[in-house]
Amino acid sequence: MPVAVTGRRAAAAVLTAALLVPLAACGSGSSTEDSGSATGKAGRTSGSVPGAQLTVLAASSLTDVFKKAAAAYEKSRPGTHITFSFAGSQELAAQVEQGATADVVVTADTRTMDRLKPETGTPTVIARNRLVIATGEGNPKKVHELKDLADPGLKVVLAAPEVPVGRYSEQILDAQKITVKPVSQDPNVRAVLSKIELGEADAGLVYTTDAATVPDRVDAVTIPDEQNAVAAYPAATLKESENQGAADAFVAWLSSPEARKILRDAGFQRP
């Protein structure tokens, strides 16, 4: 007999479906971004049961590497299907708190994951990252260090302070006593990167791994370790998951040698 979905869960189902439909439209043959498993589960499954359907909410900076990771995971587990919703970590937290139907959440900072403690199992840090200054191809404005971002003639774009990469950016600029007046503050790191790619901004602060996804369109200026910040990526199973066994297995796999190699090859650092 159908179960009526009301209140917070109904709103969350609509939200999750809306977020996943655009991803399904651009999916490839592996169909790791299909919206089919976003609004319902067939019941609890174990981590190795063929046909496990998982929905993973993940930070935007994991977009490219998680597609590769999912392809490897699904290949070794026939019938397993992973659906992703990528967004800024603060957006992911809001989805979880509103009751979004999902199995795993991976954020780009421990602060956001700590906020979700009532909703998750014990988190595991799967990787780390650092920031770089991203500029247009060829670095036409000759940006060489953090203090150059204070130039009033430079169009700088940053992530909003409530976004992990925006908070890390604010942290390293404040530590160096550098005042930057960004032309915009965006909801996630990929939005920052896109504006630099399109020439809408001269420079911005992004993760090392994001700049590495478009090396032919963006230059990356290294920030010395002593002036940089280290981003941690914790992953956790959601307590409301109807696929607890499969979700736990995927989170555990993210710390496996196979997954760590995929992350390392994409430029992420060991946890």
- List beta partners, residue 99: none
Query: How far apart are alpha carbons 178 and 180 in whole angstroms?
Result: 6
Homologous superfamily of the 129-230 domain (CATH): Periplasmic binding protein-like II (3.40.190.10)
Question: What values do phi and psi take at 210, rounded to 5?
Answer: -70, -45
Give average pLDDT by consecutive 10-residue segment, the chain, 271 residues.
39 44 37 35 42 93 97 94 97 96 97 98 98 98 98 97 96 98 97 97 98 96 98 98 96 98 97 94
Domain edges within the chain: 7-127+233-265, 129-230
| Residue 10, CA distances (Å) to 56, 64, 238 in order | 19, 30, 18
Query: How far apart are alpha carbons 252 and 246 in whole angstroms?
Result: 10
What digits encode the pLDDT tens for the residues 81-114? 999 999 999 999 999 999 999 999 999 999 999 9
- List beta partners, residue 186: 159
pTM: 0.81
What digits encode the pLDDT tens for the residues 254-264? 999 999 999 99
Domain at 7-127+233-265: CATH architecture: 3-Layer(aba) Sandwich (3.40)
Report the number of secondary-structure helices (H) and strands (E) in the chain. Answer: 9, 9
Query: 7-127+233-265 and 129-230 share one CATH topology?
Result: yes
Question: What values do phi and psi take at 94, rounded to 5?
Answer: -65, -40
